[in-house]
Amino acid sequence: MKTRKILTVLGHTLMCFVLLSCATSSTANDVVQPKTTPSQTSRSVTTNNALNFGLLAPLIGVWNVRDWQLQNDGTWQEQSGASWRFYPIQNGSSMQDVWFSDSGEADKGPGYGTNLRVYNPLAKTWQAAWLSSRKRNIELYTGVQSANEVLFTSQASDNGRLTRTVFSDITPDTFKWRMEWSNDEGASWLSIYRVEASRVK
């Protein structure tokens, strides 16, 4: 019962932010374009919020994404790319990011997604909630900082499979991200999707 209440609250919060973004944007391009200058969006905000965002602080801004998906034959196939925007919310105490991609497939249409991330600087841990236009459900993740990476692991399994996403190789102008699956409760992980991002603003 308590878990259901938490999910309900997070769901309402996520939808409020999504609706607010839509209300202030007339096109998909508006969603991923900041209304501030590049310096305000990236460098200055990163410095002011380093304590609140930990290793993810340099991500504040707008990014172009190249992405690849693992195929059944073990090869990697490049996808259609995406735009990914990160920005502080709630007076800089939390971070939201918005993902937009156009697969070029008429039956799927554009893909939208948003994360809400809250960082605990004392414990160096994260709580995150993900909502996408295609899956239409809320996924909860717990994040930890390990060396130069930030790892977000799903709080619930999908038919016995755990999902983990990893930010790595973070610099002021580039970063990498990957999605992994585990079918043995986290004993081993298989990378199934990866991203290379370069800063726009």
Query: pLDDT by residue (tens digit) across 15-62?
Result: 444 434 433 333 334 333 334 333 344 444 445 556 789 899 999 999
pTM as predicted: 0.75
Amino acid found at 51:
L
Domain ranges of the chain: 2-199
> Which SS3 state, helix, strand or coil, does residue 124 take?
coil
pLDDT of residue 131 exceeding 60, the answer is yes
- CA 175-127-53 angle, to 5 degrees, is 45
pLDDT confidence bin for 135, thresholds 50/70/90: confident
Question: 72 pLDDT band (50/70/90 cuts)?
Answer: very high
At 14 the three-state DSSP class reads: helix
pLDDT beyond 90 at 122: no
- Cα–Cα distance for residue pair 146/149, rounded to 1 Å: 5
Tell the CATH topology of 2-199. Answer: Lipocalin (2.40.128)
